[in-house]
A and B are shown apart, each in its own frame.
Chain A
Amino acid sequence: MKKKKFDASEYFLLFIVLFFSIGYILFPLYTLVSSALNDGNGNFGFSNFLNAFTKTTFQAAINSILLSLITVALSGITGLVFAYILHFQRIRTKSFFSSLLMIPLATPPLIGVVSFLFLLNEKGLLANLLELVFKHNELSFKFDGWSAIVIVHVYSFFPLFYLFTSSALKRIDSNLIDASYSLGASKTLTFFKVILPLLIPSVVGASLITFMASMASFSAPFIFGGSERFLTTEIYFAKINGDNSLASSIAVLLTIISIIFFILLRRYRTGKLFDIRHKGVPRTDFSSHRSQTSISGTIIISLFSLMLILPVFTLLYLSFIPEGSLMRNFLSESFTPENYLKIFSEPQFFEPFYNSLMMSLIAVLITLIAGISSAYLIAKVNTKFKSIIENIVSIPYGIPGTVIALSLILSFNKPVLFGAFTPLVGTFIIIPLAYSIRNIPILMQSSMSGFYSLDPSLEEASFSLGAGKMTTFGKVIFPLIFPSVLNGALLVFINSAGEFVSTILLYSYSTKTISVEIYSQIRMYNTGAAAAYGMLLFAVVMAVVYVSRKTIDKSITGI
């Protein structure tokens, strides 16, 4: 179904897409780059960009890359071990364990950082527990620097490796492994020569995503970094120091590194399709190899799972502890729901909750409009712009949140066309705008996969039965692409609801979100309030994940 000419409604979609991509992707990037090329005194040139970098910037770049590599390696190993045990060994309550893995994935980065902080720092839950048990606490707890950042990163990213590899494992034909055994190969040899090569595509995919996410990570390096430098925190401190030119230069450097990995990821995705040929239906049931429950496997998995829920448990526990009691021995305090009651009874405490939900909904709305429009143009209309649109709308996926926030500040701190000629800095709308820029590629991708799986004859049937374009879209196309679009929209919602990285640069008094409120409560050491907000956010995200699974299942079976 390819057409030569645009009609009015398609011109309108094109206008939406161009407006969004020029106004909110290209224009902020342009402002950022020109600020990086400017030395602050009006002189312009590429040398300014290079001069801005001192040894410390390179140190920060090396640290960021090193941190990302360590994160990838450790998360990869952990995720693989987890997937391997769950797949090849007979474990009781397997599905329970694998659903626990959703916890770190759904936990917003700041919540992960905060719960580890409460669990492991000098005055943390663990230190207090040990003090209670041994009466005298000789162990000095220290939770900062590299080890703290790496622990939090691995916690957040290893489930990704698990998900990718376990879905690959499910596709492996067990006859291959039987063949390897019967040819005399040992278990280890079979793992390295047969299984691992089959997993490599998914491991590479997960690695690239993890690498990019670690490069962009802000919360953990910000709270635990101390004297260590990372690119994201350097941007923040340069901005605080009033050096916008340096901040933009570092931001451009970080973006270049991220985009390189993003391009690698995309090239890899299109080139990875290799297939194993087999006759008949592949046999994929592995656990039948084991007749009894594996005890060691169950123990390892249980320990893992304990570590998975411990941070959330810490948060839950602290949310019921009265304010300020963390300075005392809080294990002896009685539980109270006052932290939660406060959020729902006092408007000033409820507002951040309201703001977060509202901003996420607006972000979903904006990405829905702009994302579906671009996906429609890319998938349905034959135009030369097709790949240009796809590439431009994909750019934000490679831009870290800190950089998006900085570029928005630089672009919209004065009245410009795309800010409706008012300075957007400090307003409500700039935050959901940042969320939607960051998330538009997700929605575009998910709606594109909906459009591509669409049978064009359905649309033609609708036209031939006399339905107009709008009716066809509303009654035929939209219901069919709905599951994929919804999937993307929920991901956008989840990402936005707990966003901290760009919000911390963009918020003002009346636009505080839950994550900003958690951060400022921690700054004031109101652990109870911080934990209660954290639990609420966690509950919202979990509820959305749960409901979305139900809805998507239903709408798929409903067709």
Chain B
Amino acid sequence: MSTRLSKGGRLIDRAKRLNFTFNGKPMQGFAGDTLASALLGAGQVMLGRSFKYHRPRGIVASGVEEPNALVGLGRNARFEPDQRTTTTELFEGAETRSQNHWPNLDYDIGEINDAFYKFLPAGFYYKTFMAPQAAWKHLFEPIIRKSAGLGGVPKEADPDRYEQAYAYCDVLVVGGGVAGLAAALREGRAGKRVWLIEQTAHWGGRTPVDGGQIDGFEACDWIKTTLQELEGMANVTLRTRLMAAGQHDHGYVIGLESVGDTRPGADIPRHRLWRIRAGRTITATGAIERPLAFAANDVPGVMLASAVRDYVVNWAVSPGDRTVIVTNNDDAYRTALVLLDAGLTVPAIIDAREATHGALPQEVKARGVRVLEGRGVARVLGRKQVKGVEICAQAGEGGAIETIECDCVAMSGGWSPVVHLWSHCGGKLIWDAGQAMFRPDPERPPLGADGTAMVQAVGAANGDLTLAATMGGAGLGACSSDEAPMTPVWQMPASAPVALRFKSFLDFQNDVKVSDVQLAAREGFESVEHTKRYTTLGMATDQGKLSNINGLAVLSDALGQPIPATGTTTFRPPYTPISFGAITGEAKGALFQPLRRTPIQSWHEAHHAHWEPVGQWRRPYCYPKSGETHREAVNREITNTRANVGLLDASTLGKIVVKGPDAGRFLDMLYTNMMSTLPVGKCRYGLMCNENGFLMDDGVVARLSDDSWLCHTTSGGADHIHGWMEDWLQCEWWDWKVYTANLTEQFAQIAVVGPKARELLNRLGGIDVSREALPFMQWIEGRLGGFDARIFRISFSGELSYEIAVPASQGLALWEKLVTEGKDLGVMPYGTEALHVMRAEKGFIMIGDETDGTVIPQDLGLTWAISKKKTDFLGKRAQQRPHMTDPNRWKLVGLETLDGSVIPDGSYAPAEGHNANGQRNTQGRVTSTYYSPTIGKGIAMGLVLNGPDRMGEVIEFTGEGEARIKARITDPVFYDKDGEKQNV
């Protein structure tokens, strides 16, 4: 059983005890512990159940590669599943729960899956549950979802906050081990702007555990002095708890910083996502030890050899009293020395190699430890905890030679460099047969924008596994014990029969065994990418950090080809999981996206506006009074505007000034009608089409002076139209003398609409707005009741109407003045829905309702707004193509329901027969449909086949379900056809 040792532990502070719970049971650890070290220290070896077979599982590793020891952390809104105990720092009050079992960890119904392992091989889902079809969704999937899978899903919104930050550097060094420190020191001394980031809370990597000398100093002293020098450099930024998740093109690196994980509820960000632009990245990301594939290598207590010594040295935790070490290399002997130094027992070292001569084995032998050469582990005994190992000949079929009692097994199958960042942008790997690993190929690095290497790998990440090799690469002298060559072992024993292979796990997190990969190969999966997906090898949250190389070695063996011919699967970011919160950053709640506010927005809010999103604006849809439905409010607003006077906040309307000697010519190209001939002081409605002829925007253009025009655009289209103008000016007609400015936000614009509008403006005084002084479709400038106003006499409602533009800073004051002055005239604000209904009553089109990107002005009966004189305008040629001139294009008409009801939005008019796909033919569709309080019934506009030729004809539209609504085809203008009201 694991326990806390009475002395040692370089990372823990025994003076600071921290309380936490596991499955509700109170436990204690120390400051500096990880959850894993604290749990082991408290004697908790079994931490969860496996994904598929529900086998008991415990801690395997001591870092990011941990596949098993995941827990649910926290509770309620701060609950988070699948937290890796080996990288989660312990904090006071941490609540942890084991995963994937029912009813509890010790007794789990799902464990029955393990007994039926023969029936749950790779590709099980693909082969089973094929019929009947409906059963998958309703029977099989619900059961499997309940039985498989890891942690639960949090059910409440995340209360924590997250943020992002951008950083720049010449050189980003990833990994704070000795290789990274040496690289940062070199670059820092060279005056480079350096960032050195380390995913854990500590500097030095593995070296403080494994020991050695650097540059004539004890490694720990060298680390300390190097850090001091780096800290003193103004050009070097050091950061711990910052994991580089991905290396992207153009030196873009994403990193995740843990800021507040150990202080839940504190008023600080939980995570911070760093977006780093690095001139060059140096990956000093180290290497990860590989497990060995022997039967029952997943029983709690079987751990990586390096992890075993990490727990002893770093946290003073003994994973077991008696640890059997099984290895194919010299490095694992370091574990024996650490265990012996801690006073623990090493009954034997099982070395798969036929002979051992290295310095480390000699040292271990000299201390009286049995070293069994040419031997392997046949199987591990025990279920919830290691009880012993059966020893066999590595070359054989697993016949037990002897059984050794132990409560921990430390395994080492060699090391794999962490090549993720190197590989993300296309860095290639070479197979190093001597060390049985893929390592970065210096000849084929990922290339930056300038064609040179963007990433450089150093230290163990570069395949320099020993301290001497690592520091030699950095130009520093170092010494550590010499290591004799390792021997690759992909299966233990070499000729293990199927019964053993069925229990020899490759991927612990997804329960993939040697037998599964071999089955995939037999079934024809030759590509490693296909095998990965078929068996799910390496597809769990650990992304196969422990399993990939072993898995593809087994696959290569099954396919009878060398490992390099099989290759690796693709390394993709993120290196370890990053939180959705960090990806979201500040963009949640009120900051989810920008909400554009007009100068009058606060008034609308104070008057209980019901909102409608328009682009990124939020405009009042209507202003319901207490007890009023939205529909009733809209009807009231319309009726009042048509009878008295209404106010509309039209500030969102696009307002673009176009000025210059060629401005008239330019606008003649942009609009379908003629704008160059518009006299100064007058307004003209215009249409804009894209180069394909489709109607894109509309609005009133006012000529301000000889060489300047003001173009009003739709609210949602202002930015696009401004960009469209600049595009043509900068890219196509760059020699035309035209300047534009988007003044949309400079002005608040208020529409004063209704028969009493003139009287209201007269009360403000200062500008003569009589019919004579300001006729329809003209504009005037001056001081209106003390406001700097430009008044446009234009109407989108059919009523007497003025649109008053004032500087935005004066907008709210003018609005309030109009409300006060117009009180006895019955002034009321109206919203966008009243605007829509009133324009529909007048038969005015709305971009986005009558148009959808496939409609040309000719479809809408707007030929009057298309110049026949102009030789060209954008869209002209396209509108002459056969499809555009087809007489069978649907055309705009008005629609009046016979029963007075409102046709549902989006209704189609069915026609006789069916098309080739068996769908009902159609002959038209509704584009706008409203209840008109003015007419007293439902009105609509729609596009109908030969519509204008079918006036008076009654056709049917689809209603709810199978219902049909009869509507008469009419002129689209329902109200004041002659325009007398707007022209008073």
Q: Do A and B bind each other?
A: no
List chain B positions with a Cβ less than 8 A from chain A. Answer: none
